[in-house]
Amino acid sequence: MGPLPTLAELRWNKAGALSIAAQIALALAILCNAMFVIHAQIALMTRPTGIDESDIFYIRSSLIGDQGTWASQEQADVAALRATAGVVDAYVTNSVPLTGAGGSVPISLRPDQVRPNTMAAIYLAGGDALRTLDLHLVAGRDFRPDEIGDFYPSAPGSGRAPGAVIITQALARMLYPDGSALGRSIFIGVPGSSRIVGIVRRLQVPWTSASGWGSNFSEDSVLTPARLIDKNVLYVVRARPGQVPAAEKSAAAALRANDRMRVLDGPYAMKPTRAYAYRDDLGFSIFLAAVTWLLLGVTAAGIVGLTSYWVSRRRRQIGIRRALGATRGAIVGYFLGENLLIASAGIVAGTALTIGLNLWIASAFGMPHIPVGYVLAGIVTLLLLGQLGALWPAWRAASIPPAIAARSA
């Protein structure tokens, strides 16, 4: 009798072995796919926006007075914000990344194109946008003062293309893969053409969903030299490093001091905005992680339970083996070997199941295929889990006294 079990010896408890193998197979499939999905979620949640998130906050303002007062009110507001202690710069716009609300435009290379090349987020950047957001120009320049104009979205016929735009590097590469985007003209879905005068390294669109609107053009943004003049606007403020909380308070107070009869929403710092934007994804990841941990726990408990039972059923047999000269190590080895045998069977089935599940997830949810590394990591995890689960019962088996063999039943 060798120290390791054989398949023939497992036959006497086929069902128990099968139950453990099935658990390991299912656990492997779920573990690998859950890990893969979680990592994809983390990658999604940690995507950079391209702006200086740690020092930026924004306030939504909704004016009550009529249209004639908006422009002067905004000018006064921006001036007040800039004058606030701890503030580096501020501008007025329609949207910032991570807020989930903004505008998008079709981008075409020719005016008569039926199908645009892509969609892009549109950020109104008539003010000091580049400096406030801390965007890095990789080519070209910022808007010149003479390019900047007022933009009244509420006025009929307000849709004329701006003469100059700044676009993101991702959009530039997409439109002109040869790198010749700077200086070219594009069409953004309204009459007139726009010349690309600058390219920024990165600026994410306002939408953060993994598969919803914006997901297929998440790095494609266009900045226009338009100063938004509207009832509802967004003030974006950059504070000195580390002074966001204090600056938030004084900025809100400054706006309220300018006009008490208005509705302010905010201030919101970018950090909590990011957390809020990805809350569902975080919750989803936490759920998957929690279920995966529970799954490992349940599987381990099952292995401990069944192996203990097997040990108790074979006490006499173990005693006899010990009496015949088997060492404790040999007994431990026997049960670990048995577990390894069962787990391996489970892992063979589980690998097939993993791939099947991944194929299904890939087609149903538009996810990529699982890399081999995840499957290997899952296999190692479950083999270790099996061995750990079997170790304690095996150890107890090894401490069964050989004398038990001598006793009659």
Q: Residue ranges of the alpha helices (H) in 46-106?
A: 70-83
Residue 293 is a binding residue for another protein (CB under 8 A): no
8 A C-beta contact, residue 176 and residue 202: no
Which of residues 2, 156, 177, 325 is near another protein by CB under 8 A?
A: 156
Residue 318 is a binding residue for another protein (CB under 8 A): no
Which of residues 1, 43, 83, 291 is near another protein by CB under 8 A?
A: 291
For residue 31, the SS3 value is helix
Which of residues 260, 363, 372, 407 is near another protein by CB under 8 A?
A: 260
Residue 189 is a binding residue for another protein (CB under 8 A): yes
Which of residues 7, 15, 257, 372 is near another protein by CB under 8 A?
A: 15
Residue 109 is a binding residue for another protein (CB under 8 A): no
Residue 282 is a binding residue for another protein (CB under 8 A): yes
Residue 72 is a binding residue for another protein (CB under 8 A): no
| CA 396/CA 331 separation, integer angstroms | 10
Burial class (CB in 10 A: 0-12, 13-18, 19+), 321: buried
Site size toward another protein, by CB under 8 A: 67
Residue 287 is a binding residue for another protein (CB under 8 A): yes
Residue 83 is a binding residue for another protein (CB under 8 A): no
Beta carbon nearer to another protein, 291 or 403: 291
| CA 273/CA 265 separation, integer angstroms | 13
**Alpha carbon distances (Å) from 186 to 136, 218, 297, 347:** 21, 19, 57, 55
Q: What is the smallest separation between the CB atom of 260 and another protein, expressed in angstroms? A: 7
Beta carbon nearer to another protein, 198 or 267: 267
8 A C-beta contact, residue 359 and residue 36: no
Convert 53-89 to b/e letters by CB count within 10 Å (16 or more is b): bebbbbbbbebeeeeeebeebbeebbebbbebebbbb
| CA 30/CA 381 separation, integer angstroms | 13
Which of residues 43, 72, 136, 213 is near another protein by CB under 8 A?
A: 213
> Could you give the count of Cα atoms lying within 13 Å of 239 in the half-sphere of its Cβ?
23
Q: In the complex, which residues of this chain contact another protein (CB under 8 A)? A: 13, 15-16, 19-20, 22-23, 26-27, 29-30, 33-34, 37, 62, 64, 104, 106, 114-116, 118-119, 153-154, 156-159, 189-191, 211, 213, 231-232, 260-263, 265, 276, 279-280, 282-284, 286-288, 290-291, 294-295, 298-299, 301-302, 305-306, 309, 312-313, 361, 364-365, 409
